Structure 1
Amino acid sequence: MNKKNYIFICLALFLSVSLFGQQGKQKRADTLFNKFSFVKASKVYRELIENNYNKDYATRKLADCYALMRDPKNAARYYKSVVKQEKVPIEYYYKYAQSLRGIKKYEESQEWLERFKDSGGVVNTNDFSKDINFISSVFSSKQQYFLDRVRFNSKYSDFGAFEHNGKVYFASSRDEGVSVKRLYGWNEQPFLDIYVTDVNNKTNVDHTNKVIGDVNSILHDGPATITKDGKTMYFSRNNFNKNTEIKDKKGLTNMKIYRATWVDDKWTNIEDLPINGDEFSTQHAALNKDENKLYFASDRPGGYGGSDIWVVDIHSDGSLINLRNLGNVVNTENAEGFPFINNEDVLFFSSDGHTGLGLLDIFTTIKGENEKNIVDVINLGVPVNSNKDDFAFTMNPNGITGYFASNRTGGKGSDDIYAYHRVPLLNVEGVVTDAINTKPIPHAKITLFDENNQQIAYVETDEDGYYEINIDRDKDYKIVANQDKYIEDYRMFTSKNIQIELTTITANLLLNPIQNVVKLAELNTIYFDFDKHNIRKDAAIELDKIVDLMQNTYPEMVIRIESHTDSRGELTYNDRLSIDRANATYEYLISKGIDPSRITEHQGFGERRLTNGCQDGTNCEEEAHQLNRRTQFIVIKME
């Protein structure tokens, strides 16, 4: 092997390793984004931009991160770059408009809102007069949560389910099968106890499934949470310990959070925590990922009203210090409760004080740039929320499955446990590369076909040769890449039987250059009269030249037709007019004997690709407008 080849191979290996590292970094960023960890995701997207890897995609996601973190200044900064990208989804016009509104650039915001509407977007006319959460559509635009059957609900109240080491723990008032039942006067149901059953249990859960030990009392017990090592339980209980019930000045028995330890195969050593009080309730314990913070709900003095979400630090010796309220972004004048922290340290909770669909709704939170302060809350939408009470949301460590409770219509009892699974959005992505020099190919045409060979998507690669398309799961696909100077390449792939956690399928494509490819530009461009699509005599002459070229000089030539309009008239009308011009051109060539298979596409682009500066509002002569009323021909294949 000569020195030149050795250097080339080493360089190729280096580039491959580098590319693989960047791909892994992007997948990590997307995973963080899908788990609502926007601060961490934004840092990785910024690194991708700095490394110039899939820059357009990373910029879009970074802008979305800032919008979700309620940072309109930085969101507007990056959306400004995003809206300049070719083939950018039109919803980014709307996002840019709203971020401009957030920094009080109202006139510029209105301009981009109008552009969004002109491009076919639908917007509420009151959007600019109401203080709404303009990024909630990120989570509600496509359903991600789907409900699964739960077999252990009863005709009584069941809620607070969570999984731990193959078991499901939950609170229930199903105290059936005992000789004496004590009823809670509020709703005439038995008092709550904490139960446990196998995750896949399909049999009845009764009093024999209560957790073993001293946790369950004669009053309310539950819901609960357990540390990862299974040695400590935090649980809610009426103010009752050592067989003594304590009432407040009004004669009510408030709730407290107690701590129990697992000793000799049972829960014992019940401990009354210092965060409790006799004159207020403390309940709904939740631990963060590192288990050094305890979140809970309380109507203690110092809150904003109703019950609030609070947090306290847990030291290694179990002591609790630095008690604090989570603030008025989370808490309202009404009731907040049932906090839960997922593996990304994202807080979920229930509230009837934030805008929702009914009574209690389930919300998630967004942290700011410093990852310390919560800057916004987002309603999880349907089907998690309904017009009734929805609460006690938990998520398993996989970030895909979990539980919540609801008293919605159609349940088995007063409160029922609902299981869910999330189906994260799925993309196919890839890089189109020159097979000879391994350089990315910008502006390559990517066409996605379904299993019936029907086209379902069309995009172009960015400056780094990168593309991405949203796809459905459980489908077979074919993806085709072509570019004027290359032989097209395709790949078959499937989204069937893939892990639910997977959010990206990679389909890279290699294009081989072809020789003697010619773009029939100005000489062979044909033109149309204003507001017409019929073939003029001068156009027919040019078309006959193309027919001769395809029939006699290059009998294997394959072309693509692209038609355009000038800027005058409505955008949607011009789109239709350009399609009519493309159809007329196509039909003329077919009528002259050209095989339809030799014309891959005949598309209309309206006024979107003007050849000069004659856009709306510009004073141009008729000759200048004429240059835009055209059809061009692009050679895809010569031989």
Structure 2
Amino acid sequence: MTKKLLLILLLLCVLPAFAQQKLHKADKLFAEFAYTEAAKLYEEYLADAKNPKQETIVNTADSYYNTGKMASAVRWYDKLYELQKDAMDETHFGRYILSLRGEERYEKADQLLWEYLDKKGSKKFKQKLITQKQHLDSLNKNLPVYKVENLAVNTNKADFGTSFYGDKIVYASGKDSIKGHGRVYSWNEQPFLTLYVSDRDTTTGAFINEQKFLPKAQTNYHNAAPAFSPDLKTAYYSANNVTKSDRLENGANGTNNIELIKGQVQNGELTLPESVPFNNKNYSVGQPAVSADGKWLYFVSDMPGGLGETDIYIAEIFSDGKLGKPKNLGPTINTTGREMFPFINDEVLYFSSDGHYGLGGLDVFTSKKTGDTQFAEPQNIGKPINSNLDDFAYIVSKDGAFGYLSSNRAGGKGDDDIYYVTRANNAPCGQLVTGRVINKKTGQPIEGVAVKAQVNGSGYTDTSKADGTYIITIPCGTEAVVEGKKPDYTTGKPNGKGEIELSKYDDLIVKDGDVEKVAINPIYFDFDKYYIRPQAAAELDKVVYVMQNFPDIVIKIESHTDSRGNDEYNMQLSDDRAKSTYSYIMAKGIAPERIESVKGYGESRLINKCANGVECSEEDHQLNRRSDFIIVKK
């Protein structure tokens, strides 16, 4: 055997072993969340691998996704989708869609998403996303309402997460690269974060007179996302879980998580620092926000029992400063994706999400508060606040005149940057009223409904689309009374879910031969009585509902008794019962001329065998004690 042949055989043995060693190292880095380095090694391995495992393709795609390299993430998610198709799990399919949006490939992202949801039978969730998309499309057709400017304070490191601190601004930055002896966060090879406080130039929004915030309280690792009580005496912020000696303390799976720190601010220092009671080293708790009245703490966590990767929670702040039990904000706000960076401005919640329909990455959404822990359907705030990449940590002044946004969008100075947000010159101020019109009986969408939003004597309108959705723009800072109308349907106002439920005329009546009657359950009277029972009142309200919604309807009332008792007496009793129902309807505001006649028929029109002398049960007799509401004109 020649030396050349020996060398070839040796290389054939060594190269696969070297490749496996590279893959093993990449897997180890991936498990340690060192995604930047892992991606490099995976790429080197895959360049020569002929039949790589699907797990390796997944890890490569995820490494790029987790570091915001969406073009590379799409390249590998494309390969994964070719291999798995419908078998692709929900998490990675969601990341695939977000990566496509991050590259502004919206048409392909939508096509894949609608097909996926159809196959999964997720019709309700699909409709929710379609409604959000229509809202966003409508919003982005208009001229930009906001102006977004990059601030001079930004560096090529991470700068993000602003919070109002009286007239000052507190934010986090990784620019102090000397801190921690130059150590970096292996996830994205960025330095650990430090909190800074600055004055705010009221003209330009710039940060001036910057210094470190609560320097003695901060750890040598991540310190970010602060929030304050209304009196500025209590501070909350996010930090790595650390030991008393300021060393990272990992959870059971070896991951270092984030905890929420609370303390009192005195003379520029944090006193009485403590870990909030629902912290746990096995999951993260952070990104706090405090309500304007100081009674509620919002925060983000991936604690067990949530709906997605990270959810927004709320906990009551008692008068003694203690915190109540956390409550998940539920599926109206939270999704299977990431909900992050809440900010509450009076009655409006701002937060970022990649689970609701957006432009790509995290988008900023708003949701109006409807109760202590209840919120309306979220609405995307649109461009230019949102982009195809991550847009988050949006805060806005009380009067809505300005705000601050964090984003890793193109054109920044590096990683995450802070942007100053103001209303664009001469931009009309409009807010959207959106929702969906559905059939109350079937739940199906109704097309062609005239929806009107009444604001201070002015009306703003839209017509519901094939999917039942409507979008109306009304002036900012106003409240609208919304109502939907369509011929042969009832009128209706939005419920707590933003839906207008209408009933079709045919669903409210029954036909008895050529006769139409209002569809109600039988109205029963007690034996020998003619007063209205609660059950009867509930049914009569249905008659009133039909007459209120169809103002041309005219009815006649017919009342009947069973056969027991004197025939003449029963005739009088039935007449009293008819008049009793008539009086109830009149008391509800129905005009007298809309009731043609009111008549009792006694026992002359029995609907079963229970005539005089026939033995029947009480239940059978009661069937004859009834009233009918017959439509004579419509």
Common fold: TM-score over 0.5: no
TM band (smaller chain): 0.3 to 0.5
Give me the TM-score of the superposition, normalised by structure 2. 0.45
Structure number, greater radius of gyration:
2
Q: TM-score, normalised by structure 1?
A: 0.45
